[in-house]
Amino acid sequence: MFNILVVEDDVKLRKLFSTVLVKNGYNAYQAGDGVEAWNVIEANHIDLIISDIMMPNMDGYEFTKSVRDVNSEIPILMITAKEDFFAKERGFLLGTDDYMVKPIDVNEMILRVGALLRRVKTVHDRKQTIGETTLEYDCLRVSRKGEEVVLSQKEFYLLYILVSFPNKIFTRQQLMDEIWGVNSESDSQTIDVHINRLRRHIKDNPDFEIVTVRGLGYKVIRK
Domain ranges of the chain: 3-120, 126-222
Report the distance separating Cα 110 and Cα 24, nearest Å.
Answer: 8
pLDDT digits (tens, 9 = 90+) for 80-95: 887 778 888 888 888 8
- pLDDT value at 45 more than 90: no
The number of residues in the chain equals 223
pTM reported for the whole predicted model: 0.60
- Homologous superfamily of the 3-120 domain (CATH): Response regulator (3.40.50.2300)
> Do the Cβ atoms of 222 and 207 come closer than 8 Å?
yes
| 201-213 pLDDT, tens digit each | 999 999 999 999 9
Distance in angstroms (rounded) separating the CA atoms of residues 7 and 20: 15
Q: Residue 176: what pLDDT?
A: 87
Matching CATH number, 126-222, of 3.30.70.20, 1.10.10.10, 3.40.190.90, 3.40.1260.10: 1.10.10.10
| Model confidence pLDDT, tens digit, residues 108-159 | 999 999 989 887 776 666 788 999 999 998 889 999 988 999 999 999 999 9
